[in-house]
Structure 1
Amino acid sequence: MPMDLPQPIAGYVEANARLDIDGMLQPFQRDAVFIDNGKHFEGQAAIRQLFEEEVIPVKAIFAPDTVREEDGDVVVEGPAHGDFPGSPLRFTYRFTLVEDAITTLEVTV
Protein backbone atom coordinates (compact mmCIF):
# COMPACT_ATOMS: atom_id res chain seq x y z
CA MET A 1 0.00 0.00 0.00
CA PRO A 2 1.64 3.26 -1.10
CA MET A 3 0.13 5.51 1.60
CA ASP A 4 1.51 5.79 5.11
CA LEU A 5 -1.52 4.81 7.18
CA PRO A 6 -1.45 4.20 10.93
CA GLN A 7 -1.28 0.44 11.60
CA PRO A 8 -4.89 -0.07 12.76
CA ILE A 9 -6.20 1.68 9.64
CA ALA A 10 -3.78 -0.14 7.33
CA GLY A 11 -4.88 -3.45 8.88
CA TYR A 12 -8.54 -2.61 8.35
CA VAL A 13 -7.99 -1.55 4.72
CA GLU A 14 -5.86 -4.63 3.93
CA ALA A 15 -8.45 -6.98 5.46
CA ASN A 16 -11.25 -5.20 3.59
CA ALA A 17 -9.39 -5.78 0.32
CA ARG A 18 -9.57 -9.53 1.13
CA LEU A 19 -13.19 -9.24 2.37
CA ASP A 20 -11.91 -10.78 5.63
CA ILE A 21 -14.44 -9.95 8.36
CA ASP A 22 -12.27 -11.15 11.25
CA GLY A 23 -9.33 -9.13 9.94
CA MET A 24 -11.53 -6.06 9.48
CA LEU A 25 -12.75 -6.32 13.09
CA GLN A 26 -9.33 -6.93 14.63
CA PRO A 27 -8.23 -3.24 14.80
CA PHE A 28 -11.47 -2.14 16.52
CA GLN A 29 -11.80 -1.81 20.28
CA ARG A 30 -14.48 -4.09 21.71
CA ASP A 31 -16.80 -1.14 22.37
CA ALA A 32 -15.97 0.75 19.17
CA VAL A 33 -18.60 2.73 17.28
CA PHE A 34 -19.03 2.51 13.50
CA ILE A 35 -21.19 5.25 12.00
CA ASP A 36 -22.29 4.40 8.47
CA ASN A 37 -23.95 7.41 6.83
CA GLY A 38 -25.60 8.37 10.11
CA LYS A 39 -26.51 4.83 11.30
CA HIS A 40 -24.71 3.85 14.54
CA PHE A 41 -23.34 0.37 15.20
CA GLU A 42 -21.90 -0.04 18.70
CA GLY A 43 -19.57 -2.88 19.70
CA GLN A 44 -17.85 -5.54 17.66
CA ALA A 45 -20.95 -7.76 17.38
CA ALA A 46 -22.96 -4.96 15.75
CA ILE A 47 -20.05 -4.01 13.50
CA ARG A 48 -19.63 -7.66 12.46
CA GLN A 49 -23.33 -7.78 11.55
CA LEU A 50 -22.90 -4.62 9.45
CA PHE A 51 -19.98 -6.22 7.59
CA GLU A 52 -21.88 -9.50 7.11
CA GLU A 53 -25.03 -7.81 5.83
CA GLU A 54 -23.81 -4.75 3.94
CA VAL A 55 -20.13 -5.12 2.99
CA ILE A 56 -19.48 -8.77 2.15
CA PRO A 57 -22.63 -9.45 0.04
CA VAL A 58 -21.85 -6.54 -2.30
CA LYS A 59 -18.07 -7.10 -2.17
CA ALA A 60 -17.50 -3.46 -1.14
CA ILE A 61 -13.77 -2.73 -1.17
CA PHE A 62 -12.42 0.66 -0.12
CA ALA A 63 -9.29 1.91 -1.95
CA PRO A 64 -7.96 4.97 -0.12
CA ASP A 65 -6.08 7.56 -2.14
CA THR A 66 -5.69 10.45 0.33
CA VAL A 67 -5.02 10.70 4.05
CA ARG A 68 -4.85 13.66 6.41
CA GLU A 69 -5.06 14.46 10.09
CA GLU A 70 -7.98 16.63 11.15
CA ASP A 71 -8.96 17.60 14.72
CA GLY A 72 -7.04 14.61 16.11
CA ASP A 73 -8.70 12.13 13.76
CA VAL A 74 -7.27 10.43 10.69
CA VAL A 75 -9.38 11.17 7.61
CA VAL A 76 -8.97 8.80 4.67
CA GLU A 77 -10.72 9.29 1.35
CA GLY A 78 -11.04 7.21 -1.77
CA PRO A 79 -13.34 5.15 -3.95
CA ALA A 80 -15.10 1.96 -2.94
CA HIS A 81 -16.07 -0.48 -5.62
CA GLY A 82 -18.26 -3.53 -5.58
CA ASP A 83 -21.60 -4.93 -6.66
CA PHE A 84 -23.71 -1.96 -5.54
CA PRO A 85 -25.53 0.84 -7.39
CA GLY A 86 -23.27 3.68 -8.48
CA SER A 87 -20.03 1.73 -7.97
CA PRO A 88 -17.46 3.05 -7.61
CA LEU A 89 -18.48 5.69 -5.07
CA ARG A 90 -16.12 8.05 -3.29
CA PHE A 91 -16.16 7.74 0.50
CA THR A 92 -14.67 9.60 3.45
CA TYR A 93 -13.59 7.49 6.44
CA ARG A 94 -12.93 9.40 9.67
CA PHE A 95 -11.03 7.26 12.18
CA THR A 96 -10.56 8.04 15.86
CA LEU A 97 -7.67 6.02 17.27
CA VAL A 98 -6.78 5.35 20.90
CA GLU A 99 -3.80 3.21 21.92
CA ASP A 100 -3.38 1.64 18.46
CA ALA A 101 -7.04 0.71 18.10
CA ILE A 102 -10.00 2.15 16.25
CA THR A 103 -12.53 3.58 18.71
CA THR A 104 -14.76 5.33 16.17
CA LEU A 105 -15.10 5.08 12.41
CA GLU A 106 -17.49 7.40 10.60
CA VAL A 107 -18.12 6.69 6.93
CA THR A 108 -19.82 9.20 4.63
CA VAL A 109 -20.36 9.42 0.89
Structure 2
Amino acid sequence: MDKKNINKLKIAGKEYPCRVTMGAMVRFKNAAGKDVSELKQTDISELVLFIFCCVQSACHADHVDFDMDFETFADSLEPDSVNSFYEDMATSQKKTENPVPGR
Protein backbone atom coordinates (compact mmCIF):
# COMPACT_ATOMS: atom_id res chain seq x y z
CA MET A 1 0.00 0.00 0.00
CA ASP A 2 1.32 3.41 -0.93
CA LYS A 3 2.03 5.50 2.18
CA LYS A 4 0.51 8.59 0.49
CA ASN A 5 -2.89 6.90 0.41
CA ILE A 6 -3.00 6.13 4.12
CA ASN A 7 -5.66 8.09 5.99
CA LYS A 8 -4.39 10.35 8.73
CA LEU A 9 -6.24 11.52 11.81
CA LYS A 10 -5.23 14.59 13.77
CA ILE A 11 -5.27 13.92 17.51
CA ALA A 12 -3.95 16.39 20.09
CA GLY A 13 -2.15 18.36 17.38
CA LYS A 14 -0.36 15.36 15.85
CA GLU A 15 -1.26 13.28 12.79
CA TYR A 16 -1.51 9.52 13.16
CA PRO A 17 -2.21 6.86 10.53
CA CYS A 18 -5.77 5.57 10.74
CA ARG A 19 -7.31 2.85 8.61
CA VAL A 20 -9.52 -0.17 8.97
CA THR A 21 -7.44 -3.34 9.26
CA MET A 22 -8.07 -6.87 10.43
CA GLY A 23 -6.07 -5.98 13.53
CA ALA A 24 -8.40 -3.04 14.23
CA MET A 25 -11.41 -5.34 13.98
CA VAL A 26 -9.83 -7.86 16.35
CA ARG A 27 -8.90 -5.08 18.80
CA PHE A 28 -12.48 -3.80 18.70
CA LYS A 29 -13.93 -7.26 19.30
CA ASN A 30 -11.60 -7.83 22.25
CA ALA A 31 -12.38 -4.42 23.77
CA ALA A 32 -16.12 -4.23 23.06
CA GLY A 33 -16.99 -7.91 23.26
CA LYS A 34 -18.75 -7.83 19.91
CA ASP A 35 -18.02 -7.83 16.21
CA VAL A 36 -17.59 -4.62 14.21
CA SER A 37 -20.64 -5.64 12.17
CA GLU A 38 -22.69 -5.11 15.35
CA LEU A 39 -21.42 -1.55 15.86
CA LYS A 40 -24.33 0.79 16.58
CA GLN A 41 -24.38 4.18 14.86
CA THR A 42 -26.12 5.61 17.93
CA ASP A 43 -23.46 4.52 20.44
CA ILE A 44 -20.77 7.22 20.45
CA SER A 45 -18.57 5.21 22.80
CA GLU A 46 -18.46 2.30 20.34
CA LEU A 47 -17.88 4.61 17.38
CA VAL A 48 -14.92 6.28 19.12
CA LEU A 49 -13.59 2.92 20.33
CA PHE A 50 -13.53 1.60 16.76
CA ILE A 51 -11.57 4.65 15.57
CA PHE A 52 -9.19 4.19 18.51
CA CYS A 53 -8.64 0.58 17.45
CA CYS A 54 -8.02 1.70 13.85
CA VAL A 55 -5.39 4.20 14.98
CA GLN A 56 -3.73 1.67 17.32
CA SER A 57 -3.58 -0.94 14.57
CA ALA A 58 -2.33 1.42 11.84
CA CYS A 59 0.32 2.88 14.17
CA HIS A 60 1.48 -0.61 15.12
CA ALA A 61 1.67 -1.69 11.47
CA ASP A 62 3.50 1.50 10.43
CA HIS A 63 5.86 1.52 13.45
CA VAL A 64 4.51 4.85 14.71
CA ASP A 65 4.60 5.47 18.46
CA PHE A 66 1.11 5.69 19.91
CA ASP A 67 0.81 5.38 23.65
CA MET A 68 -2.47 7.19 24.28
CA ASP A 69 -5.09 5.42 26.38
CA PHE A 70 -8.73 5.38 25.26
CA GLU A 71 -9.90 8.17 27.59
CA THR A 72 -7.08 10.52 26.51
CA PHE A 73 -7.78 9.65 22.88
CA ALA A 74 -11.49 10.41 23.29
CA ASP A 75 -10.71 13.69 25.06
CA SER A 76 -8.46 14.71 22.16
CA LEU A 77 -10.70 13.59 19.28
CA GLU A 78 -12.87 16.27 17.71
CA PRO A 79 -16.36 15.50 16.35
CA ASP A 80 -15.33 16.60 12.83
CA SER A 81 -12.64 13.90 12.80
CA VAL A 82 -15.18 11.26 13.81
CA ASN A 83 -17.56 12.38 11.05
CA SER A 84 -14.78 12.44 8.44
CA PHE A 85 -13.62 8.96 9.40
CA TYR A 86 -17.07 7.42 9.00
CA GLU A 87 -17.81 9.39 5.80
CA ASP A 88 -14.54 8.13 4.28
CA MET A 89 -15.37 4.60 5.41
CA ALA A 90 -18.84 4.79 3.81
CA THR A 91 -17.36 6.13 0.57
CA SER A 92 -14.76 3.34 0.48
CA GLN A 93 -17.43 0.74 1.13
CA LYS A 94 -19.61 2.06 -1.73
CA LYS A 95 -16.65 1.93 -4.13
CA THR A 96 -16.01 -1.69 -3.11
CA GLU A 97 -19.68 -2.66 -3.48
CA ASN A 98 -20.15 -0.84 -6.80
CA PRO A 99 -16.88 -1.00 -8.69
CA VAL A 100 -16.62 0.91 -11.94
CA PRO A 101 -17.02 -1.49 -14.88
CA GLY A 102 -13.89 -2.07 -16.93
CA ARG A 103 -11.45 -1.38 -14.07
More helix by share: 2
Larger-Rg structure: 2
Pairwise same-fold verdict (TM > 0.5): no
TM-score, reference length from structure 2 = 0.28
More strand by share: 1
